[in-house]
Amino acid sequence: MMKQLAVFTILAGTLMFTQCSKSTSDGQSVIAKIDGTAITAADMFDRYPEARLAESSDDEIKQAVDDVVKRQVYVKDAIAMGYKDSSSTKAQIQNVEDQRLFQFVYEKEILDSVISDASLQEMYDKSKFEIHARHILVQYRGLPRATATRSKEEALAVCAHIMQQIKEGVSFDELASKFTEDPSGKNTGGDLGWFGWGKMVGPFQDVAFGLKVGEISDVVETQFGMHIIKLEGRRETAVGTFEESKDQLRKMASREKSRELQELAQKFIFDLRTSHDFQIINPNLDAFFKIFNNSTHRVGPLDYVLKNISFDLPFFTLDGNEYGADWIITEVLKLDSQSRPTVNNINDFRQLLDNMVVHYLIIEYGYGKGYDQDPVFKKGVTSVQENIIYNNYVRDQINANLSPTEEELTNYYEEHKDSDYSQKEMVQVQEVYVKSQTKADSIYNAIQNGADIGLMARKFTERSNARDRSGELSPFPPGRYGEMGKIAFTMAVGEISTPIKVGAGYSIIKLTKKIPSGPESYERVKGRVKNDINRVLREKRGTEQYEKLVKKYHVKIDYEAAFAAYRKNNKPGEKAS
């Protein structure tokens, strides 16, 4: 919940946008029918956008169609079984709707106030082109990552000197190599290569994209310093339609305007707190933490703590009403068990309480404004509802009660051990690894004279993770440890090598074991076997269930219509390979 508020007040670019890109097709062609209800091309495009499958094979498009139809059939059967009306499903749907409404309020109240469709269209028009530019960067002290010691006034004087030399006919490349303080441009004449809109900071790209080919800008100031820009070229680049690009453009714009968005979000939250007269009752927090600090129930999720520490005083007021532990517990229980917050001190609790109330107020604001009735929002919520119902149905009807017997597990292992559970030939060694060749030679001589390599490893090896194991390394296959690994595979068990150069040091090894290739033992891979057989059982049960529902709900599929919908922009007779 605290993270969500951070998202609301800091960066628009991290939000999930609920607007869906519109299809360039009319989307009316019918791909399938379930009990007479049509699944159209537009329904397909919502899950599998046109661009994603336009060059796909018949089989890939068929798989996409089958996936969409199967989901709809499962949802239909789930609703018939009462899944939509179950209390747990309703709670899940309400929680997700609240979180999406939280985001939607941000989009309507903050994002749309700063980033209009007109500004996105302007960005889109610019994104149709790439430019090739050079620049000269002059920095001054105080800038991030700047090494220059000159003042800003002195930097402007340097820029004026450069501009004068340009007027006198000195080439831009030569001046860039001499004056630029962009390290990547010193040897390239300030060359930035080709780049599109959104790749450079705002003031820089605003000027660069407005230049004519061959034109040189006046001095442009950014957070990196002073720039003089020359446009070398301009070319068209392939982009999707405006509607297809809109979400990405919005994210790009939100990054460019992050400070303005943050300031507006902070003001929105301040006004919301003020209008609802939200006040934390600090003396009651102090009283609660006197009890908390001496309680045996202070460790655990906040709902557990508040249920087990008796405290009847309110923690805050809102719209003139007092609220205490019951309100907090209700809100915390809306979160999944892994996300429920904990508190360690009064400052944690105060910050968490503030975030929880503001989060609540933003959602209530959204309902009050009727944003939950917005067609775009409702479409997104409908999709989420279907996902929740589908996932719950799959959990109960497909994935539940998969309990293969021991006999089934061992039979599966025997059938697949050579193909799925086989290991490469491996070796195991004891090693003494040191950085000094002189030291390595001395240790080798000691081992040759009867010293135990394990004791030498414990005393001298610089591979610390093997020291406590007397230098024993885990078994390894060919390709590990460079030259040392190669030599290990040529040795006989018990043989000790001379010092081997390995990276920045030297290894002396004793081959202790050769492990032939072949199936790993059943006990070693039993967990993998169980996962694999459960996957097979899920797939089998899913196929059987789908085939049964296809008959039950009279499913009809027109794959040719799907091929035509996704390939409408191909030339007549053309098909993706």
Cα distance between residue 342 and residue 352, in whole Å: 9
Pair 425, 515: CB distance under 8 Å:
yes
Blockwise average pLDDT, block size 10, the chain, 577 residues:
47 35 58 95 89 88 95 96 92 91 93 86 84 95 87 95 95 94 90 88 90 95 94 86 81 82 94 96 96 93 95 96 96 88 94 96 96 91 91 94 93 94 93 95 95 95 92 93 94 96 93 93 94 95 95 96 81 37
Whether this model's pTM surpasses 0.95? no
30 DSSP β-pair partners:
40
As to burial, measured by CB atoms within 10 angstroms (0-12 exposed, 13-18 middle, 19+ buried), residue 75 is buried
Structure tokens at 46: 């919502």
One-character DSSP codes across 211-233: SPTT-B---EEETTEEEEEEEEE
By C-alpha distance, which of 415, 412, 423 is closest to 521? 423
Pair 337, 280: CB distance under 8 Å:
no
Structure tokens at 482: 């460079």
Place of tokens 């402007």: 156
Q: What is the pLDDT of residue 119?
A: 83
Q: What is the pLDDT of residue 571?
A: 39
Phi, psi of 496 (to 5 degrees): -115, 135
Q: Which domains does the chain have, with CATH numbers?
A: 1-114+249-421+525-577 (no CATH), 129-238 (3.10.50.40), 425-516 (3.10.50.40)
Q: What is the pLDDT of residue 257?
A: 81
Instruction: Provide CB contacts within 8 A for 143, sequence distance 6+.
Output: 223, 224, 225
Pair 566, 53: CB distance under 8 Å:
yes
Burial string for 443-453 (b: 16+ CB within 10 Å, else e) reads: bbebbeeeeeb
Q: What is the pLDDT of residue 438?
A: 94
As to burial, measured by CB atoms within 10 angstroms (0-12 exposed, 13-18 middle, 19+ buried), residue 509 is buried
Q: What is the pLDDT of residue 380?
A: 86
Query: How do strand 422-423 and strand 426-434 relate by DSSP bridges?
Result: unpaired
* Start-to-end C-alpha separation, the chain: 47
By C-alpha distance, which of 242, 247, 245, 211 is closest to 228? 211
Pair 10, 529: CB distance under 8 Å:
no
Residue type, 528: R
Q: What is the pLDDT of residue 15?
A: 36
As to burial, measured by CB atoms within 10 angstroms (0-12 exposed, 13-18 middle, 19+ buried), residue 31 is buried
Structure tokens at 373: 């009735």
pLDDT in tens, 209-265: 999 999 999 999 999 999 999 999 999 887 778 887 888 888 888 877 888 899 999
Pair 497, 472: CB distance under 8 Å:
no
